[in-house]
Structure 1
Amino acid sequence: MQLFVLFLTTLFLAMVLVAGLIKLSAPLGLVDVPDARKVHASTIPRVGGIGMVVATIVALLLEFELDAQFRECLLGVGILTVFGLLDDRYDLNYKIKFLGQFLAVLVVVVFGDIVIRRLCFQDCGTLPDAVAYPLTVFFLLGVTNAMNLADGLDGLAAGISILSLACIAFLADLAEGYQMVGAAVAIVGAILGFLRYNTHPAIVFMGDTGSQFLGFSAGVLAVLLTQKVNTALSGSLPLLILGLPIIDTLLVMGHRILRGVSPFKPDRNHVHHKLLSLGFDHYEAVLATYVFQALCILLAYFLRYESDLLIMAVYLALFALIAVFFPLANAFHWRLRNADLDRVSFLTRKLNLVLERAWLDKGAYQIVRFAVPLFLVITAMTTRMEDPDEIAVFAAGVLVSWVVWVGARLPGAGFVERVAVYSSVIMVVYLAQTAGFEHSEAARWFNYLIIVLAVVVGVGVRFSGRYFSLTPSDFLVMFVLLAAANLPVFNQINYAKIAAQSAILMYGIEYILRRGNGTVWAVRSGGILALIALARWVVV
């Protein structure tokens, strides 16, 4: 419960603070002016980072009695925030910016004793201080800058950070690292509060204050996780946890050095820039980076106890995949979209036709409009009711309220209808996960069908045009929920699975309802029948 309160606190604080800071951004001079290197075309406030930092620190101090290491981490965040604010306001020289990063890292390494001392290649001995301290400083500086450089598209750095922090929280929970889980949850809450305004097209940026805060925090927590909190984990696991930003930074800086220019000179050679040049739109470029980062996170979870040698080999393979993909794409003139379809491959032409046609929306819609209501009804009829009184009475109350409200034609009938249908979804999914089914095989089919519905709903919503739209942030949150839902650490009620499955069905219902009055009958019928099936236990 404390973690839930912490999450809601940071989420709410970040939303309120960012909204207020947007109005102050122009007088404070904290705005991002477009130039040839950037993809936005108008001046955007860059105050989101301030809101995230303040929300996180305030919430953590209110909810936790932090130990010495975490207090040193907050001091490092404070130093980094000061330099980040100065950079957002005055565009500091990279040397001054680097000085601030170095001081922040030095605080956590020297005073917080957050040091990479253990790596297992041939043996698992402790690294000497002459190696451990420089290695940690180099790693944390690199991660801080990597996230800063990754902040090139709306929602990009924020989404990547959510994936990394979610992985850190899960792995820390395995070793009961409660403060680390709390810190990760707090930052995720702050990021989601910021994403409320940063989803494309963004009305606010996080600025260097935010991107450095996220990179620094993720790097410090990753080192602390493997070296202090859960020492059974592989020491090189942070490479996979932080994944794409590190690969992107190494490739970009390597390319700049080969060209004979400063590695700190900005350009348009980042992964997200290259995706845009290959015909990806903003939405698809962000989603593609999320998918790759999600792959890194899944590998980190499944390889968490493997040798550092294996993890390094896997990471180098991912590095090679990114490094080779773009030169090959350019060599073969491959583009996701190209106005001159005769110049691209047969496969690409077919893909372009698929992306441009509306049949994906229509086909998915026809499946969803019947599958979701039918799924609700069948599940409600086949779940067990070992202690049915509370849910059955609640279902009966919702059903009667709905019928009376709509029958009397009271105002707000559409809202009441949505609430009733959504209530039936939550009750059905809750019973499926807690009470189970009358038949043993039903639970497995329930999970399979949920996954199929998730794919169909996602395709339909993605290509639904004016009716509905999903953002990369929606896919991101859904991925985190689904990943959490299938973790073995949940040995009692899996609330993450309940949340994920409920969200999938609710997206499907909303997708149907937004098509117009001609389709409401399907949802209405499914909701009513599901509630009747749940309420039947009152009579029994």
Structure 2
Amino acid sequence: MQSVYILLLALFVSMVLIPPLRRLGGPLGLTDLPDARKIHDHAIPRTGGIAIAAGTLLSTGLLITLNQEGKALIAGWCVILLFGLLDDRLNLDYRLKLLGQVIAGSIVVVGGGVMITEVPFLGLEALPTGIAIPLTVLLLTAITNAINLSDGLDGLAGGLSVLALGCLAIFAYQSDDQTNFALAMALMGATFGFLRFNSSPAQIFMGDSGSQFLGFGAGVLAIGTTQRPDTALGPLTPLLVLGLPVLDTINVMTRRIAAGRSPFSADKLHLHHQLLQAGLSQNQAVSLVYLAQVIAVALAYALRYSSDIAIIGAYVAFCAAVLLAIHALKHRHHSQVRRKHAHILVLEGFLKALDSLESRAPTILETTRRALALMLVVVFVGGAAAADAISADITSLAILLLVLALAAPMLPRKLGATFERISLYAAGLVIIFLATPPLREEIGTTTLIAFFGTLALLTGIAVRAAESAFRTSSLDMLILIIAVAMPLFSAPLPPRLTFLVPQAIILFYSIEVILSQPQGRWSPLRLALLIGLAILTAKGLASQEFRV
């Protein structure tokens, strides 16, 4: 349960900090201006990395007892964040950025003992320290830059990182690596909170501070999880976990060198640029990249105990399939004669599905809002009614939240809104935690998954309610992917965590969607919150009285 608190605290902190950080982008000089290489056409604050770092570091500091490796990662993160912010503000030379990454990597390797000791195919027991240290720092720098370079479209780097971190969290849990598991959950939660405001059209960017923070964290966790002496995970597994960013970096740098240019020069050779050149919209391109990354993560999970040659073979096949698919899309876009091969039909069908609802936007959006509000009432009231095993501490928490919820409408607007959010988030988490086990027995796991899958779909549609026309976003795709995929990767995870994490993520986003619309003094969501907390309080008090 602690890991869930870590993820949700990081998520909450990140989401709460984004609005003020957006306003501070201009005064701090942290804005991303449009140019020939960029997709956006107006200045956008790039302060999102601060929110990601704050959510991660705060939840880590409050809820995790760190070992030496974890403390070194925190120190390295601070160095990465400092150099990243300087780059966002001053546009540092790439050599200074590399210096910051090398310093951060050295701290983790020397101070935390995160080190590559097993090299694929060589068959050595352990690398000599004199080779292992620079090799690890080099690979950490490479992974950091791979994620950094993938930050080219709205939601792209963040979504790729969330999928990779989810896989690494499962590996850490399965290896009983509590520290890396908790750190992965914290970073994943903070990134998810940021993505709420970063999907197209983005309201905020993560900047180099965010993309390097993510890349460095993912690299350290990947090496630390797979290079443990007591793990059976293949040392090459991170190659698949970070499949898309690694492929993109290799592809871009190879083409730049072949053209006689610096591998660090700016251009539009990235995979996401090629998808845009193939006629895709930002949302379509990002959604396709997410799907490809899910395939890479699934391969990593399936082959986690396999030989080096099997992992290399799978990765080569994966890269070939991705590059061929992009080539096919570009050919379809530029060719006058469009031959309908099977793979083209599949891709076209997927892309059309993303945009097929636009013509019915007004009716769909209004119906969606009402259905979403009704489902949230069911969660709070029905979930509280189904909850069991209400302990004394949960009863006390329910009473406190009930007082906060009753007081919220009578307080000044901002303070009341804060109290209301705290009550909704905390009560929602408690209710689904208590109600899920009895509901799985009563109505079945499949029904419960279908309910929250529907809630995720409605949330994704309603996110666009404020726009003049409905557009399915890449964030909607990511939420659905996680909601559907989490149970499929559940074997090594505790059952409650398997269901609680996607449920909580979906619930938090759906609450935010409803609260973003004008609310009456006693809206259905507020009434459902009060009724749900009253039910929990009554059941808890009755249970305690019976025990006495």
**TM-score tier after normalising by the smaller chain length:** 0.7 to 0.9
Question: Structure 2 matches for 1:48-447, cutoff 5 A?
Answer: 48-121=48-121, 123=123, 125-129=125-129, 131-228=131-228, 231-331=231-331, 333=333, 347=345, 355=356, 358=359, 434-435=437-438, 443=444, 446=447
* Unmatched segments (≥5 aa) in structure 2: 391-427, 514-548
Q: Distance in 2 between matches of 1:149 and 1:172?
A: 26
Alignment size in residue pairs = 508
Aligned counterparts of 2:470 and 2:306: Cα–Cα separation in 1? 43
Asked whether the 8 Å contact 2:284–2:351 carries over to 1, the reply is: no
Deviation at residue 252 of structure 1 after TM alignment? 0.6
In the alignment, residue 259 of structure 1 is paired with which amino acid? Answer: A
Structure 1: gaps of 5 or more residues: 389-424, 512-540
Q: CA deviation at 1:480?
A: 2.5
Find the counterpart in structure 2 of residue 35 from structure 1: 35
Cα distance in structure 2, aligned partners of 1:14 and 1:426: 17
Structure 1 residues 448 and 115: alpha-carbon distance in aligned structure 2, compared to 1, 3 A threshold: closer
Distance 1:190 1:35, change over 3 A: same
1:178-223 CA distance string (max 9 Å, x none): 1111111111222123223222222211110110010000000110
Asked if 1 retains the 8 angstrom alpha-carbon contact of 2:150 and 2:157, the reply is: yes
Corresponding residue of 1:422: none
Return the letter of the residue paired with 1:110: V
Name which one, 1 or 2, has greater alpha-carbon Rg: 1
Is the contact between residue 109 and residue 133 of structure 2 (CA under 8 Å) also seen in structure 1?
yes
8 Å Cα contact 2:32/2:44 also seen in 1:
yes
Letter in structure 1 aligned against 2:84: G
C-alpha contact 1:360 1:463 (8 A) present in aligned 2: no
Q: Is the 8 A contact 1:362 1:460 kept in 2?
A: no
For the Cα contact (< 8 Å) 2:68–2:111, is it kept in 1? no
Letter in 1 for 2:485: A
In the alignment, residue 151 of structure 1 is paired with which amino acid? D
Q: What is the match of residue 478 of structure 1?
A: 480
Secondary structure of 1:182's partner? helix
- With 451-460 and 270-279 compared, the bigger mean Cα shift is at 451-460
Q: CA RMSD in A?
A: 5.3
Asked if 1 retains the 8 angstrom alpha-carbon contact of 2:388 and 2:435, the reply is no
Distance 1:35 1:280 in 2: 20
The answer as to whether partners of 1:360 and 1:459 remain within 8 angstroms in 2 is no
Q: Which residue of 1 aligns with 2:9?
A: 9
Q: Deviations over 1:429-482 (max 9, x none)?
A: 98996347899xx84864796699689879988999968665322332332343
| Secondary structure, counterpart of 2:247 in structure 1 | helix
Q: Displacement of 1:49 after TM fit?
A: 0.9
Write out per-residue CA displacement over residues 64-104 of structure 1, whole angstroms, 9 at most, x where no aligned residue: 23222222212211222221111111111111111111121
Question: Which residue of the partner structure matches residue 533 of structure 1?
Answer: none
Give, in angstroms, the shift of residue 14 of structure 1: 2.3
SS at the partner of 1:199? coil
- TM-score normalised by L of structure 2: 0.73
Cα deviation for residue 301 of structure 1 reads: 1.4
Letter in 1 for 2:49: G
The amino acid of 1:311's aligned partner reads I
More displaced 10-residue stretch of structure 1: 163-172 or 472-481: 472-481
Deviations 1:361-383 (A, max 9, x none): 9999999x99x99xx9xxx9xxx
CA 1:47–1:358 in structure 2 vs 1: closer, same or farther (change >3 Å)?
closer
Partners of 1:333 and 1:166 in 2: how far apart?
34
Separation in 2 of the partners of 1:7 and 1:447?
A: 22
Cα distance per residue 1:343-396 (max 9 Å; x no partner): 6759559976984885899999999x99x99xx9xxx9xxx99999xxxxxxxx
SS in 2 for 1:151: coil
Amino acid at match of 1:473: L
CA change 1:478–1:41 in 2 (3 A) is same
